[in-house]
Each structure stands twice: as structure tokens, then as C-alpha cells.
Amino acid sequence: HALFLLTQFVYFGEFQIKKMLVSIYRDFFQYRHFVEIRKNNSDTLDEIFIKSKYKEILLKTRFVSIGNTSESSSHIMYSFRKENNILKDLFISTTEISSCSANVEHFVFIDDICGSGSQAYEYTEKALLDINTLFPAAIKYYYMLIGTQQGKTYLKSKTNFDYIDSII
């Protein structure tokens, strides 16, 4: 039985977690906007122009931790910010959504693990309601390091996140 349990065990060290956080930002968020910028500007390859436009998008983005500050999401957000070299001012908690400036267009929720999806739903329900009321045109993202298909399907059916994805 012990050997079977061992074959079901997966360990992620600090190095792997940091690389996954880079991947969430780069592959799910940043590249999506690079493609959109290029598409909306005659498939430009002008790197300075693309980076300039992306910086405008980034300044209109808030990265939101899930749960209270003593839970894993806050720790993940710190590492996420450091690994991706993102300004501290772009990070908020769910309670700070109502105090965001009117020009915010993107809310990115980052989480470590999504199992059934019920806890993520519980933690984001009020935040999404606030965003929908105060920022009706805002795009809402929910990205996680690890997510089950069941959890992602549950969130897609119960919430109005525009994008839900996980590294694993």
C-alpha cells in the first residue's frame, strides 16, 4: 500500500513553484496581451511599441489575492510579484476592490490549488459582485498553480470569470 501511495505523490519544491508563477504571468496573462496588441496593430513586430502598450494594460490591472492575508494566496502573491518583477501597487486584496480607480480594466485572481472549486467560489463571490457593479467592462481572470477539471468546471458554471486556467 505504501508503494502505491508513493506513486500517487507529487512534490513541488520552491524552485518549481516559482517557475509555475512565472508561467502563469507570462503564458496566461502577458502573452495573451502581446498577441492582442499585435493583432490590433497590423501584426506589428515593433518591440518598443508592444512593450509600451502592454505597460498601459498592466497599469490598468490589479492582481487580487484570494482569502485573508494569513492564507496561502497572500504568500503566493508575494512570490508572484517578486518572480515577475511587478509593481507592488498593482496588488490588492478582495476588500480593496471598491477603492480601485475607475480606470482598472483587468482583475487577476491568483490561487495555489483549486480542488472542488467551492472554496474559490466562496472567496470570490463578493469580489466578483463588486467588480461587476463597479467595473462592468472589466475582464476577470482566475489562475491557479494546480486545478482539477472538476474545480475549473464548477467555477466556469458558478462564476463569470472571463478566463480560468491552471498550470497543472
Block means of pLDDT (10 residues each) for the chain, 168 residues, are 86 92 97 96 95 97 80 80 96 90 94 90 90 95 95 95 95
Instruction: Give the span between the Cα atoms of 136 and 17, in whole angstroms.
Output: 33
pTM as predicted: 0.90
In 3D, which of 165, 101, 168 has the Cα closest to residue 138? 101
Q: What's the pLDDT tens digit per position in 96-107?
A: 999 988 899 999
Q: What per-residue confidence (pLDDT) applies to 24?
A: 97
